[in-house]
Amino acid sequence: MGAPSCIPLIPLYTGRQIRQAEAPLLEAGHRETLMRRAAYGLAQAVLERLRAVRGSVYGAKVTGLIGSGNNGGDGLYALAMLRRRGVETHAVMMRDRAHEAGTRAFLAAGGRLVDVVDTDTDALIDAIIGTGSRVGFEMPRIPGLDEVLADESTQVIACDIPSGVDVETGAVAGDVIDADVTVTFGGIKSGLALGEGSHAAGEIRAVDIGLGATLPTPARWLVGRRAAAGDHAGCGRHAGPVEPAAGLGARSQVLPRRAACDRRLGAVPRGGAADRDSGGDLRRRHGHPAGPGGGPGTPEHHDAGGGDHLREVHRRAGAGDGGGHRPRHLP
């Protein structure tokens, strides 16, 4: 009889648990440290993807879809790091405000604020919504985005969680951009392992940002399984989540893409061509309607405020007026 092997248990946390674990460090003035650690992990994942598809990172083009909160700040810091590695970096702002320190770092590194996704973009960073992500997200129409998503070679990297995936349940009831890799911070969120979130996330990389002893008992555990001879990487990566148990702490994890055996990069995961919108995109998906109203995730919520969008972002960052043109993806 062969020696018994251990089936791994991977801790899963709710978004609220991660925010509570961060709170003591934020109160102690370590917000920027945590963000830069997260951004470093995100930038490293992008660099790995670029090397895999291009062989070199110098001269590659990376575009970030940037929200107004800390998730957008993580994305901006990561773009600044990438720019210093010779990557051409663009940022499309979802609102007329953004994380100011992150914006300053991005612009100081030579990044460009744009309102169009260039069709020769090599990698796209989804940094719109983080641990506050809920169902009902609607992506505004951004010129060039659908074409980039339809290109199988474009790498899509989600910052913390794909925007539009419920961070607790993994539900999708609006738009979501399927990621090739999700780089999540502090611990793996439940929504990345449940429901549609487990498919939208792609490969999951958990980055240790130093939460350590502040992490609580996990909300549940993901039960891994031993790889059998001949298994394709990513097929059946886990049996499913179980309820909390004691004894294992959080650590950096890499989980392969779920259902990699039956889902091609860029393929419509469900519904076939009927799920493609009029722009012909392949990786932007639409869930069930979230109902009327202007709650979080809707265009009314994300894009309200009017005014000269890029000029305002530059002004808040103390970097001039940004050219004074109106972004085409805002109403």
* Cβ proximity of 313 and 100 under 8 Å: no
Domains of the chain by range and CATH? 13-317 (3.40.50.10260)
Write out residues in the chain with pLDDT < 70, as ranges.
1-6, 132-135, 224-331
Contacts (Cβ under 8 Å, ≥6 apart) of 293 = 300
Residue 234 burial class via C-beta count within 10 angstroms: exposed 0-12, middle 13-18, buried 19 and up: middle
Nearest of 12, 112, 18 to residue 70 by alpha carbon:
18
Q: State phi, psi for 31 to the nearest 5 degrees.
A: -55, -50
List, for residues 212-243, the tens digit of each pLDDT value.
889 999 999 988 654 333 333 333 344 444 44
Contacts 24+ apart (CB under 8 A), 270-277: 277/146
How much is the pLDDT for 283? Answer: 53
| pTM for the predicted model, two decimal places | 0.74
Distance CA 196, CA 170 (A): 6
How much is the pLDDT for 4? Answer: 53
Q: Identify the sign of the CA torsion 212, 216, 222, 228.
A: positive
Query: How is residue 7 written in tokens?
Result: 């089936």
How much is the pLDDT for 327? Answer: 43
Residue type, 125: I
Whole-angstrom CA distances from 149 to 1, 65, 115, 183, 322 are: 50, 13, 16, 19, 27
How much is the pLDDT for 254? Answer: 59
DSSP letter string, 244-291 = --SS------EEPPTTGGG--TT--SSSGGGGS-TT--SSEEE-S---
How much is the pLDDT for 96? Answer: 85
Contacts (Cβ under 8 Å, ≥6 apart) of 28 = none
How much is the pLDDT for 97? Answer: 85
Contacts (Cβ under 8 Å, ≥6 apart) of 292 = none
Q: State phi, psi for 203 to the nearest 5 degrees.
A: -70, 140
